[in-house]
Structure 1
Amino acid sequence: MHLRIDPTRLTTPHEAVGDGHYDAVIVGSGLSGAIIAEQLCKEGKRVLMLEASPITNKSLRGYNEYVTNFFVSPSKDNQSPFPENPNAPMPRTPTLRKLQPGEVNTNSYIVQAGPYVSDSNYTRTLGGTTMHWEAKTPRMLPEDFKTRTLYDQGLDWPIGYDDIEPDYQRAEREMGVSGDVAALRYPGGSPYPKNYVYPMQGLPLSYLDHMVDRGIAGTSVELDGETIPLQVRPYPQARNGVPNAAYDGGKGYTPVGAVNTHQVDIGERCQGNTNCVPICPVQAKYWSGKTLAKVLRMNDELDKGEIKILPQAVASKVEINPENGHVSGIQVKVYKTPGSPEHETITVRGKIYVITTAAIETARLMLASGLPSSSGLVGRNFMDHAFILCWGLMPEICGTYRGSSCTGGILDLRNGPFRKNQAAFSVDIHNDGWGWATGSPYSDLTSLVDDGNLFGGPLRQGLVDRLSHQLLLAFMIDVPPSESNRITVDPQYTDALGNMRPNLSFTTPEYSMRGAAYARQFAKTVFSRLGVDDHTQYNPENYGYVVYEGVGYEIRGGNHLCGTHIMGTSKNNSVVDTNQRSWDHANLYLVGGGSMPSIGTANVSPTIAALCYRSARAMLKQLS
């Protein structure tokens, strides 16, 4: 696919200020920004998009530079492909450390105070966090939209599953989802319309998935008086597979491959590199550049709108007309190079304004602009999935490192009456060994050399023996909203451009910790059935270490950021309405996971994308 970002597609600060005819100013180029831009431009609207980073990955060569960065980086964290940029910094795991109660870590971009430290992160580059996401695309469950009513936990949404189900279908088309609907029709799962199929056939379960499924066959667990049988099921995924001829009433689907300045035949099928996070080496995984490529091509179509992109442009303040509360402009700091804070400050204007910078950055920008909302809820109710990891060695070679990072899991505890008392969870079976838990295979190499004194042939065989037996289960645990889990800003903590950095206060709720404690026992049951040698150890010196009922756990973040500008039924109980439009500012939309009042046990990107289509219709109506 062509992504043609040339001088006619980019704009300059002078042009952006002088052009007073933009229908919409969109802040951010990730999943939400790209979908909103595509929907508006398709209907003839003119869009200005602000991107905080330099635009270097517009070609295959530029994208592959990110891949090379990852390969040569000694730290294989989520952000390792993306260069440091003090003018648009992003959270990075290596900067985290264990904190004592009240101790503050200012070395990381997100300022946090102890004792609990979150490793949640997001990416500030063209494409946003779709550059490093895992790309699993399960839908939320109908019950996830009414947890207060059903379980007396969390918050109800002002809309239900049926309200956005058609938009889930639109999102699945745009992201190019491979999935097996038949395998996902199980009691308590997400309902699909009759005869619905995904755009592409489901990616096959890995050899490891099949081994786990055979090992747990006939196993059930008891929870709150309910007997729950266990089974491994495939995940739908936004990565290219075999097109489904039955899709769209038999019209089929054409996979979207790599983005480049000229046509290339790369990325039209997943190659099973087991490197989905932090970057797919071949662009078989969806990233929002694929949507932006479509938008940019609209510039050449007379019946379509136009998009201009202003790079290296960091939104610093939302300006408000005091007479009517409307947004009058967005103040932007445009820097010359990432290595220097030198910049000029401009104000850009449009008819509507759409902030799509993910939950933390959107809240940071609003609070830095002095806009906490009438409800005072901007920044509050921050959510991310709580993960605990359990790992061990299978008794037989299990095919580790075959397939994408995660192809299957145990989904049977996503739903049930037990949610009144403890958090639900889904279980990911990782095909990439112990990497997330221990830093494998690098930690294995170090251990075999330092502790085993191995070298040469015995070292190679030792690595093969250990890696080929590794099993990692990752439990993705529901976290309900809490007003005390929040983003704030403080003028004493700023970045190179003088913009206030986000401050995060977060503690995993007891409801979720009960789910985590049960998940650890669940893992022991599964390991026992599989004959796994359990190697799970939680280090008290780890930044995510917490003690619950006398037992220690390590809680990891899922980078599924939600809840800092939740939607609701009025300006008294929320920040935005069901279309993600601000209650206080009629021409401002806060679009993304921050609008979600709950997260359930589904990766949040499909729901974020679905909500974008709903919001885009409201924007077009407002602009008509």
Structure 2
Amino acid sequence: MTKSLNGGTIRDPGANDPVRLRVVTTPHARNGLPHPSYDDGAGYRPDPGPGQPGPGTLCQGHASCVPICPSQAKYTPLKTQARWGSSVTLVTRAVVTRVRIGADGRAAGVDYRSYRDDTTEAVTHSVDADLVVLAAHAIENAKLLLLSGAANSSDQVGRNLMDHPVLLTWGLMPQQVGAYRGPGSTSGLEGFRFGAARARRAPFRVEIGNWGWTWATGPPESRVAEFLGTGGSDGRGILGTELRRALGDQVGREFAFQFEVEQEADPANRVTVDPRHRDALGIPRPVIHYDLSDYVKRGIAAAKAVSDQLFDLLGAEDHTRFEQGPDWPGYFEFEGRPYAYRAAGHGAGTHIMGDSPLTSVVDEWQRCWDHPYLYAVGCGSMPTVATSNPSLTMAALALRSSEEMHRDLLGRRRSTSAGHPAPLAS
């Protein structure tokens, strides 16, 4: 693909000048070497032989790193948790139901319900705390703040929910491309994220998908079903050696483009709670209100126009089709043409960061304006979501905030030991 695309140009409907193409490697975080003391060595089998990497050393092309990497080459928090000292207690099978706010407006602790796997019966507990950190991502952080009646003097808790609407296009390359080997994506095209076109349509990045048509139409076994039911000369479908040949030919040539489209913050896209909708523990579920603006829809339309030209440059068969129905809940029509999108699951917004308590929920440290010693961290703090996966930005913000949390706790301890009440955090 790189040979066919690099140096070529694409006409972007939103831009005046053509965009020059360059395939760029996408950063990945993977473990390079096994840690022999991790979990007393569990999870790592011995090296199978000279020159053969054992699990935990590097990606081995299982094509199943979502959600779990079989060789543990992908980052896992388990190694971090293994370094926790005795002062840290991890409570599992527990769901926080409320942040407790003291009469002075400070965060004072949380209430939670614990349960066993074999029952929905729950026991309610309370925990006192000098500092509370909500780190349950954009949806659950917002839900918990709303249930607690907390941090919402700006009326922005739950609002400005963003994701990356993903336009998928898929087809067959003229030759085998090694589909389903390795991570879901290793490279993409970044030239449509920038420039004057942003004023007219949402920008996007183009991810080159390695896992064939899985996200678009289902895993390879769905192609097996198609071949078994159609295509045979006697009307019975393709069987035996012919089935193996046909399946290998198609699956090995499958590819997809994933256009991750930037979505602007819209207060109408939001998380709310409704006591009529509860989970098995009796806790209100989050209720989602979500739609696409015309700005985003123009970006999706531009992405499809770009895709058409990419297929031409590759000489690939385009099998993309969008049909209204349960397979495409994100179906819509725009300017007379059908489109559909998938959700990337990159939730952001809902407790946005800002420089004023009048217009935002948290400050630059992800600390709630309304309540000292209450932090809401994660992608929910991001006032914009840009065009690509927010994980690295989220991690950087969390590390930065942890330094301020440390300063908050040190300040509180100094004040308490001096016999004075701890000052309100600024």
TM-score by length of 1: 0.61
- Corresponding residue of 2:365: 579
Say whether the 8 Å CA contact 1:276–1:285 is kept in structure 2: yes
| Matched ranges for 1:316-395 at <5 A | 316-322=97-103, 324-335=104-115, 337-371=116-150, 373-395=152-174
Q: What is the deviation of 1:409?
A: 0.9
Larger radius of gyration: 2
Question: Which residue matches 1:225?
Answer: 16
Question: What code does the residue aligned with 2:375 have?
Answer: Y
Q: 1:341 to 1:403 in 2, by over 3 A?
A: closer
Rounded Cα–Cα distance in structure 1 between residues aligned with 2:8 and 2:386: 24
2:304 maps to 1:520: yes
Of 585, 590, 595, the match for 2:381: 595
CA distance in 2, matches of 1:284, 1:256: 11
Q: CA deviation at 1:512?
A: 1.3
* 1:518 aligned counterpart, secondary structure: helix
- Distance in structure 2 (CA, Å) of the matches to 1:231 and 1:617: 38
Pair 1:236–1:258, CA change in 2 (3 A):
farther
- SS of equivalent residue, structure 1 residue 317: strand
Aligned pairs, number: 391
Q: Tell me the residue number matched to 2:77.
A: 288
Deviation at 1:217, TM superposition (A): 3.2
Residue correspondence of structure 1 range 506-585 to structure 2 within 5 A:
506-541=290-325, 542-585=328-371
The within-5 A match list for 1:85-484 is 212-223=1-12, 224-241=15-32, 260-262=39-41, 264=44, 266-294=55-83, 296=84, 298-299=85-86, 306-322=87-103, 324-335=104-115, 337-371=116-150, 373-452=152-231, 453-484=237-268
* Structure 1 match to 2:49: none
Q: Structure 1 residues 572, 537: CA separation in 2 closer, same or farther (over 3 Å shift)?
A: same
* Aligned counterparts of 1:258 and 1:410: Cα–Cα separation in 2: 40
**Residues 471 and 257 of structure 1: CA distance in aligned 2, closer, same or farther (over 3 Å):** farther
Alpha carbons of structure 1 residues 598 and 341: separation in structure 2 relative to 1, 3 Å: same
Displacement of 1:371 in angstroms is 2.4
Check whether the contact 1:256–1:268 (CA below 8 A) recurs between aligned residues: no
How many angstroms does 1:257 deviate by? Answer: 8.3
What RMSD in Å do the two structures reach over aligned CA positions? 1.6
Structure 1 runs of 4+ off > 4 angstroms? Answer: 254-259
Q: Distance in 1 between matches of 2:157 and 2:299?
A: 28
Distance 1:403 1:314 in 2: 35
State the alpha-carbon separation in 1 of the partners of residues 210 and 168 from structure 2: 14
Secondary structure (helix, strand or coil) at the match of 1:564 reads coil
- Partner of 2:297: helix, strand, or coil? helix
CA contact (8 A) 2:151 2:369 kept: no
Aligned partner of 1:385: which letter? H
* Residue identity opposite 1:368 in structure 2: L
Q: Deviations over 1:437-479 (max 9, x none)?
A: 0003021011001122011111111110110111111111101
CA distance 1:326–1:540, change in 2 (3 Å) = same
- Conserved 8 A contact 2:109-2:131: no
CA distance in 2, matches of 1:556, 1:484: 20
1:426–1:601 CA contact under 8 A, matched in 2: yes
Q: Which deviations, in whole Å up to 9, do the C-alpha atoms of 1:31-53 show, x marking residues without a partner?
A: xxxxxxxxxxxxxxxxxxxxxxx
Per-residue CA deviations over 1:299-352 (Å, capped at 9, x if unaligned) read 3xxxxxx21111111100111113x111122011011x2231212111101110
Match of 1:502 in 2: 286
SS in 1 for 2:41: coil
- Are 1:613 and 2:393 an aligned pair? no
Bigger drift between 384-393 and 507-516 goes to 507-516
Structure 1 position 262, deviation (Å): 3.2
Question: How far does residue 569 in structure 1 lie from its aligned partner after superposition?
Answer: 0.6
Q: What amino acid is aligned across from residue 56 of structure 2 in structure 1?
A: G
Q: Structure 1 residues 418, 255: CA separation in 2 closer, same or farther (over 3 Å shift)? A: farther
- Counterpart CA distance in 2 for 1:399 and 1:588 is 49
Instruction: After TM superposition, list the pairs within 5 Å mapping 1:486-501 onto structure 2.
Output: 486-501=270-285
Q: CA deviation at 1:256?
A: 5.6
When normalised by structure 2's length, the TM-score is 0.89
Q: Which runs of 5 or more residues in structure 1 are unaligned?
A: 1-211, 242-253, 300-305
> Structure 1 pair 539/259, CA: closer, same or farther in 2 (3 Å)?
farther
Contact 1:360 1:487 in 2 (8 A): yes
In 2: Cα distance, 1:359 partner to 1:427 partner: 24
2:51 match: none
User: Which deviations, in whole Å up to 9, do the C-alpha atoms of 1:552-597 show, x marking residues without a partner?
Assistant: 1111111111101000011101000000000000010001000000
| Distance across 2 between alignment mates of 1:258 and 1:599 | 38
Q: Give the 3-state SS of the residue equivalent to 2:207 in structure 1.
A: strand
- The CA deviation string for residues 513-554 of structure 1, in whole angstroms up to 9 with x for no partner, is 111101101111010111111100112112111111121111
Q: What is the alpha-carbon distance in structure 1 between the residues aligned to residue 38 and residue 60 of structure 2?
A: 17
Secondary structure in 2 aligned to 1:278? coil
Instruction: Determine the C-alpha separation between the residues in 1 that align with 2:230 and 2:295.
Output: 40
- In the alignment, the residues of structure 2 paired with residue 476 and residue 407 of structure 1 have an alpha-carbon distance, to the nearest angstrom, of 15
Deviates most, 219-228 or 572-581: 219-228
Alignment gaps of 5+ in structure 2: 46-54, 232-236, 411-426
Partner Cα distance (2:352, 2:34) in 1? 34
Task: Give the superposition deviation at 1:372.
Answer: 5.5
Partner residue in 2 for 1:60:
none
Partner of 1:597, secondary structure, is coil
3-state SS of the aligned residue for 2:18? strand
Identical-residue share of aligned pairs (%) = 39
